Amino acid sequence: MKNNIRINIISQFNQEDKAIIVPILQTNEPTDELEKVAQNFGIDALLLKQDFKADFKEIHVVYSALHQKVILLGLGKNPNTADIIRAFRRLIHEQKTKLPNTVCIDARTLPEAWVEYLVNGCILGTYDVGLYKTDDKANIPLLGNEGTLNIISESKNLEAFIQKGKAIAETQMQVFDLMNAPANKKMPHTLAKWALASGEKYNYSVKVLEKQQLNTQKLNALLAVGQGSEHPPMLIIMEYRSPKATQTVGLVGKGVTFDTGGISIKSSTNMHLMKSDMGGAAAVFGAIELAAKLELPIHLIGIIPACENVVDGKSFKPSDVINSYSGKTIEVIDTDAEGRLILADGLSYLTKNFKVDTIIDLATLTGSCVATLGYHAAGMFTSNDELADALNQSATETGERLWRLPLWDVYKEDITSDIADVRNYSGKPMAGAISAAKFLEVFTDNHPKWAHLDIAGTAFGDTEFAPHRTGTAFGVRLLVDFLSKI
């Protein structure tokens, strides 16, 4: 369902408002806020104090003497921006069929900047994960023609926060759709089509190299991974340039639209989740589109190597030695370590064809990273302390957590090959995320400001918004914050 919610700033609520959300921070003495709520709506203050503690994501519904639905939303203690988004998203997600077409949010006690996050969360709360269900959709008045969100505030400087929160949410929901789409609805050309449409809409350039051009330009690692699929691989090149740009950043995202593991086939237990193996590409798509939408003062290059890794008589095999765009040869030990192969060509293409100040690649790359950090943080690999600090700052600001892991040269032995320049997998049951990062480093042309983000555990996860695992758009807010601060 298309999101056309109108968002207004008003100075106070009125008696005609049928649904009012009151967010409350948890403090040692929340009684003052609850006293105000009780006084404003003619509600028993003692009952409020007994029943509502303002715990994080706590929702408490009461009705005023004028039959208004008053929803108290707990924000917990010291919430970060991701917490604010989650709290409002959960409320709207749970209440969306029960809310009228006009909803008021009393933001008078919140910092102005938090309006961005509450708007973002409210819009995300309307997302419907049932992309291909044929049942009639539930009626959601807030998404109807008259759907309106009124933000009660005494500030007159909220418009920029509102527009940013709305813009990010709209792009995030497109990323959700891409991540949640199954393999038969999402092929390399689907990603290319998305990028071309976004570029045309938001005025940035997009170029797509198809199979013949990949052959001509010798992107052989990407071709090798995709050679078993009936859907040919592609390289998607996006470029947004602000006239105010003083820095150029290159982003490379892994775009494996489905990963069987190839000849080194995965277990069937969770293979269906491998529709999410283009989470790095999705994050780059989101960052590029938002840089253009928000007119960030940056020059941004996005490179997406896109392919399927499937089982076929033409599939590449363990023991193959393949060439790459860099000119280096690669011994294939495991065809399920395919993401680093296509990223190798993506990184080399970026460094050979563009002059960039910073490189960041993102990929749902290794189960090793999930085993290390679980589903709450992505692994960060970089030798540049300044870049690590900047990314960590953005991770803290956005709640999209990163944890720095080593990139020491002692791990080079894991990717040493007897017969080729490098091998794609160590074969060892440990340090898999690190050896993958060391492999990618070979193809960065010794760039002094490169970071690799392994988002395998964070891009697609269990959430309270869907009964099974779903896309999270991890990396989008992180990258936008990072790019905004350069």
Residue 46: predicted pLDDT: 87
Residue 152: predicted pLDDT: 95
pLDDT at 412 over 70: yes
Domain ranges of the chain: 6-157, 173-485
List all residues 6 or more positions away from 399 whose beta carbon is below 8 Å from its beta carbon: 80, 81, 82, 83, 85
Span 435-445, average pLDDT: 98
Would you say 357 is a known binding-site residue?
no
Residue 234: predicted pLDDT: 98
Q: Under CATH, to which class is 173-485 assigned?
A: alpha beta
Per-residue confidence at 30, pLDDT binned at 50, 70, 90? Answer: low
What is the per-residue pLDDT across 449-460, written as a single tens digit (0 to 9) for each?
Answer: 999 999 999 999
Residue 91: predicted pLDDT: 97
Residue 33: predicted pLDDT: 85
Span 369-374, average pLDDT: 96
Active-site annotation holder among 57, 186, 340, 401: 340
Would you say 338 is a known binding-site residue?
yes
pLDDT at 160 over 90: yes
Residue 264: predicted pLDDT: 98
Span 256-260, average pLDDT: 98
Would residue 477 show up in a list of annotated catalytic residues for this protein? no
Span 28-38, average pLDDT: 80
Per-residue confidence at 289, pLDDT binned at 50, 70, 90? Answer: very high
Span 373-395, average pLDDT: 98
Would residue 340 show up in a list of annotated catalytic residues for this protein? yes
What is the per-residue pLDDT across 163-181, written as a single tens digit (0 to 9) for each?
Answer: 999 999 999 999 999 999 9
Active-site annotation holder among 266, 328, 404, 469: 266
Strands 102-106 and 205-209: unpaired
Residue 66: predicted pLDDT: 81
Would you say 106 is a known binding-site residue?
no
Residue 65: predicted pLDDT: 80
Nearest to 122 by CA among 160, 84, 159: 84
Span 185-196, average pLDDT: 98
Nearest to 318 by CA among 261, 273, 363, 356: 261
Span 254-276, average pLDDT: 97
Would you say 254 is a known binding-site residue?
yes
| pLDDT cut 70: percent of the chain above it | 99
In this prediction the pTM is 0.96
Per-residue confidence at 2, pLDDT binned at 50, 70, 90? Answer: low
What is the per-residue pLDDT across 76-120, written as a single tens digit (0 to 9) for each?
Answer: 999 999 999 999 999 999 999 999 999 999 999 999 999 999 999
Residue 71: predicted pLDDT: 96
Residue 83: predicted pLDDT: 97
pLDDT at 1 over 60: no
Residue 9: predicted pLDDT: 94
Residue 137: predicted pLDDT: 84
What is the per-residue pLDDT across 39-75, written as a single tens digit (0 to 9) for each?
Answer: 888 888 888 888 999 999 999 999 988 889 999 999 9
Which fold, 6-157?
Leucine Aminopeptidase, subunit E; domain 1 (3.40.220)
Would you say 230 is a known binding-site residue?
no
